[in-house]
Structure 1
Amino acid sequence: MASPAVAAAPPAPFREAHLLPVDLDVERRADGTILITSKIPLKPYDANIPAAYARRALASGDKPAIAQRGADGAWVYTSFAQLKRDMDAATQWLMDNAGPGPVLILAGNTPAFAVMSFAAQAAGRAACPVSVTYAALGGDYGRLAHVVTKVRPAVVFAEDTAMARGALETLDFGDARIITTDPTQLAKPATSYAEVLAATPTAWVAKSIEGLKPSDRAALMLTSGSTGLPKVVPITFDNLMANSTQCQQTIGEAAGWHEVMLDWLPWHHAAGAFVLRTTLLEGGTLYIDDGKPAPGLFETSIRNLREISVSYFNNVPLGYTMLVEALEKDAILRATFFKKMRLMLYGGAGLSQTVHDRLQAAAVAETGHRIMMTSGYGMTETVSAFMVIHFETDKVGIGLPAPGTTVKLAPVGDRYEVRARGPNVTTGYLDDPEKTAAAFDEEGFYRTGDLAVFHDPADPTQGLAFAGRAAEEFKLSSGTWVYGGSLRDGILKALSPLVLDLVLCDDGRPYLGVMLWPTAGADPAEIETRLRAFNAQQHGAAARVKRALLLTTPPNANAHEISDKGTINRRAVIDRRAAEVERLFAETPDAGVMALG
């Protein structure tokens, strides 16, 4: 007689997160196009960011706004009131000494970055934050020169004089005023940042802020430039505050931006800028994490996470891959990390389901609860996330549209291209009508270039799953397509936790090769065994890995192999590591290449 079946234990409950209810309007057109909008309207908002910060500074006073470790490792705090005083002084200096053009900001995540960014906006000048790597790379400073030509700044703020010296003395900035910490290091005229902060604010600062309009440009943000020179995206005050309100309305109670934040995402990037802006406007304290998900730097993030408990954590997929390794080994980190945690957010396009499941297993082991994991799916052109997982699920995905945004799904075979329209979406690129026209469809929807599928086509409320980037899909010489997004995720799942990340190679080759970054101590023989097992489950040559190579050097940020936000630039890796790619496809592979059949 057969034994009675034993019912599987129900999954651990989620820790309460208080998310926005799901209430969708779904329009299905005859051509297969689907439009999805939240029926919950976007809340009203005040688009005047400098005015909103003035009110916040008055209410919060001496409460710490920003914290950053000093040279001795201790936290140094800057209050809301002090930031406001510095912003007003910088605003006055800009109005007295600079033309009406943008303020180009070359600085890391520091209080001075926040001051100059908000001051530029208060003075009616768009803030244009630029990655410091553009100035630190040397050579002809091609990317920075491109940005300067496009933006034509009235002011260049380069906080670290030694880092920026080469670029400041090499490039022609026209009539732009240069502000830096130590002008004595430069062979050209410049103003000290201390002199800017010494300016005495007048009534014109408040009048300038009062006169700002929602349609005014608040920022000029740069795209990643992963496939060429970066595009410049004009962002209005209305774009910024519409997006902040969308995210606050959707997940804000769980995220608790009014509480304590610890974040490393660079403020010159859309996601990092969102964290800075929203935390300051909501009255929270933002601890600057000077680490990042990269070898030699992630240890700094772990140190901070062992010390500071937060209710909301934000990272990119590579960061979570590195974090889960640490959580599984470090009991103190695990206890501190999960003590208050209500919500973890990942960049929506690339988190491995395996990493997601391991994070949840660690959370359950520590707290008895699963922790809500949400996506932050968006891009520079949409300010930040416009799709969010705001419903309980264990499935990795990109969620559903936030209030105010309509998502258009244009059919591409058995998948959909994701397009977006809403108050958070830019109207185009700076002085680039050709690229602007190509980026929007006939109904004004921004074409993301990303592909998605429904978790359940019969139930849209379960959200969408990322299904690849059109730009990262390629053909083998046989004409067979390689669907990079889903294939990459499948390989990472098969190899977890032995591999941090990988790059698929390459267009026009006779078979599929892959270059992998192994985790410390990973056994190459085990990686090869798992790749063979993965291949055995695949149908078709375009999904089977024939050659593999373990990379011994980490992705190089200075060569754009990895972005400042920790995502891999596949094209840059392939181009820079041409010798390794040729090893993959050599007629007779060397001993370091795994030949998998």
Structure 2
Amino acid sequence: MSATGSLERPADESWRQAPFRHAEFLPVDLDLREDADGTIRLTTNAPYEPIDSNLARAFLTTAARLGDAPALAEKGADGEWEYTSFAELARDVRGAAQWMLDTLPRGGVLVLMAENSVAVAALSFAAFATGTILCPVSPAYGIAGGDHARLRHVFDRVRPAAIYCDPRAAYAKALEDIGCEATIISSDPSVFGEGTVAVADIFRTKATDAVDTAIEGADTEAAAQYMMTSGSTGLPKVVQQSLTALAANTAQGLGLIGRAAGWDDIMLDWLPWHHAAGASVLRAGLTQGGTLHIDAGKPAPGLFEKSIANLRDISVPYFNNVPLGYAMLVEAMDKDTELRDTFFAKMRLMLYGGAGLPQHVYDKLQRHAVAATGHRIHMTTGYGMTETVSGCCAIHFETDKVGIGLPGPGVELKLVPTGDRYEARMRGPMLMIGYLDEPEKTAAAFDEEGYYRTGDMVVFHDRDDPAQGLAFAGRMAEEFKLSNGTWVYGGQLREQLLKALSDDIAELVLADDGRPFLGMLAWPKPGATLDGIAAKLAEFNQDQHGGSAKIRRVRLLEKPASANDHEISDKGTINRRAVLDNRTHTVDALFADEPPADVRQV
């Protein structure tokens, strides 16, 4: 079969019987206690084994051991991989650290507004070395246009002393528009004008003993990094993270899936370092001694092709992506057996995060894995959030169910009963210090026992066998009421609809609070028709009970979700509220007494 031929799928479900490829996991050893009110407290009995909280020292120790071994790789203009060794990266970290000590105020903020790169990695660890507070922000903030609301909001909060930017005219205009007075650093100073510092000159700064003194004197409990929440319900909050929390989260990941993931092996990852999951891969790789290939693609039109090319080029034992990325990957594999075979050649663990993985996407991945290798491949989650640094719960056992798994070492999971579901709360050394300059929101984020309120709802796959793990059951922020007072469990319903309509729609938004019935707005896949989607919705409705789970009208969207209008995050997740608020005429037509011709009654 040719690499671009149509992949035949087995008519039966025999792939479900294939054994899993071996992967070394943390054994399941749970401690479950239930309070009188039904609250469940869940931990693992596996010991929490911390790593050095002084992350700059941890990296430099690894770099001294590995020397000329490759640490990072990125593709050059010729399309070939260019490698940076641990020794070279350590030199750049020390040079940048000296520059920061000489130039920036102690505890000053360094904003990074750039795509993943060797320079960003070096500046990040230099900040950890010097007490400079690292603040990665999404490049989308700098190219959003308009009034730059998110960029203004963040800069007003963090008050940067310096900003590293990729050399893009849009960034220069954004910084000029908001009146930024911080020192600007770039690989091409000419884009930003007089006074801009060349990052190459920073790396060439001669390091002195002051760098080692600063590293050894690091306050690992102080704020070391500001990370932005996704802003899915408004402007982003600034999360204060300490070195202790960053290292604790890395240690939890190593305990849960580290041997299976192989962070000391060959890696390829696109996830941005200004988000929790991507940053965790960078920290783990550089402290554990792996070689991280920086994927310049992402699951978006015009960019995913880069990821596909890289995945054809490099076989890795571990892969990390968001559900949207996996959905696009399986569609590519449907037509490309070369991609499928290369992807699964060494694969022993796939991780998803950022949102719940639809079961149908999981099933398709496993069909491809069995076709390529004769084995199913372990799939895990990185369940967590910016407030917990990154994932601190995971599936670390054999299962064919999607979910959020079980807590890692040092994680205390508190499950508060709410009807037939539980609200998930977490406590442990990975928790944030709090939201910057927002004491009321910080206080509201924690309960009376110091557990972080995730806002997520979960259920056991089998309450009588908790070792099967937990499943995501919706976000409280995604739940809303119809005008008759009945609740719509938006997260759960959305996942069910995406599965039922997987061949026809790419994404959907449920509408809307206070309406007499449920409507749906959807982005169709090529070839899908409104009548065909409405017919499948009618079949879906037959299996639903009550009006809070039945779709009565549907309308298709032509305009893609816009990051500039806060409708979609860098991780590809949809901000339902922003979509509805930005398209009020579309929503009103969906519920009109006499709807237009492009609305279908189901």
Which TM-score applies when normalising by structure 2? 0.95
Within 5 A, what are the aligned runs for 1:22-61? 22-61=28-67
Please list the CA deviations of residues 404-443 of structure 1 after superposition, one character each: whole Å capped at 9, or x if unmatched. 0100001111111100000001131112110011000000
Equivalent residue letter for 2:142: A
Within 5 A, what are the aligned runs for 1:53-92? 53-92=59-98
Q: What residue number does 1:358 align with?
A: 364
Q: What residue number does 1:335 align with?
A: 341
Equivalent residue letter for 1:243: N
Within 5 A, what are the aligned runs for 1:188-587? 189-347=195-353, 349-587=355-593
Q: What residue number does 1:106 align with?
A: 113
* Alignment check: 8 A CA contact 1:122 1:209 kept: yes
Give distance in 2, aligned partners of 1:278 and 1:159.
24
Equivalent residue letter for 1:335: D
Alignment equivalent of 1:126, drawn from 118, 126, 133: 133
* Alignment check: 8 A CA contact 1:125 1:217 kept: no
Q: What residue number does 1:179 align with?
A: 185
User: Once superposed, what is the RMSD of the aligned Cα atoms?
Assistant: 1.6
Return the offset for 1:10.
Answer: 7.1
Give distance in 1, aligned partners of 2:159 and 2:472.
37
* Alignment check: 8 A CA contact 1:60 1:283 kept: yes
Further displaced range: 585-594 or 239-248: 585-594
Return the offset for 1:464.
Answer: 0.7
C-alpha change, 1:239 and 1:10, in structure 2 (3 Å) is closer
Please list the CA deviations of residues 194-226 of structure 1 after superposition, one character each: whole Å capped at 9, or x if unmatched. 221221111111111111132132211111111
Please list the CA deviations of residues 213-257 of structure 1 after superposition, one character each: whole Å capped at 9, or x if unmatched. 321322111111111221111111110111101111111111111
Equivalent residue letter for 2:61: R
Q: Secondary structure at the match of 1:302?
A: helix
C-alpha change, 1:348 and 1:119, in structure 2 (3 Å) is closer
Give distance in 2, aligned partners of 1:439 and 1:137.
29
* Alignment check: 8 A CA contact 1:292 1:566 kept: no
Please list the CA deviations of residues 128-170 of structure 1 after superposition, one character each: whole Å capped at 9, or x if unmatched. 1011111111222221121112112221222324231012222
Give distance in 2, aligned partners of 1:438 and 1:349.
23
Return the offset for 1:188.
Answer: 5.5
Q: What residue number does 1:4 align with?
A: none
Please list the CA deviations of residues 107-126 of structure 1 after superposition, one character each: whole Å capped at 9, or x if unmatched. 11111111111111111111
Please list the CA deviations of residues 164-192 of structure 1 after superposition, one character each: whole Å capped at 9, or x if unmatched. 10122222445x32212333333553222
Q: Secondary structure at the match of 1:559?
A: coil
Q: What residue number does 1:3 align with?
A: none
Further displaced range: 322-331 or 381-390: 322-331
Q: What residue number does 1:18 align with?
A: 24
* Alignment check: 8 A CA contact 1:318 1:501 kept: no
Q: Secondary structure at the match of 1:461?
A: helix
* Alignment check: 8 A CA contact 2:167 2:189 kept: no
Return the offset for 1:578.
Answer: 2.3
Aligned residue pairs total 589
Give distance in 1, aligned partners of 2:28 and 2:355.
21
Give distance in 2, aligned partners of 1:92 and 1:35.
46
Q: What residue number does 1:155 align with?
A: 162
Give distance in 1, aligned partners of 2:552 and 2:543.
14
Further displaced range: 64-73 or 396-405: 64-73
* Alignment check: 8 A CA contact 1:343 1:374 kept: yes
Q: Secondary structure at the match of 1:503?
A: strand
Return the offset for 1:471.
Answer: 0.4
Give distance in 2, aligned partners of 1:577 and 1:67.
42
Further displaced range: 514-523 or 98-107: 514-523
Equivalent residue letter for 1:166: K
Return the offset for 1:523.
Answer: 4.4
Please list the CA deviations of residues 303-333 of structure 1 after superposition, one character each: whole Å capped at 9, or x if unmatched. 1111111111111111111111111221101
Give distance in 1, aligned partners of 2:572 and 2:317.
22
Q: Secondary structure at the match of 1:530?
A: helix
Equivalent residue letter for 2:19: P
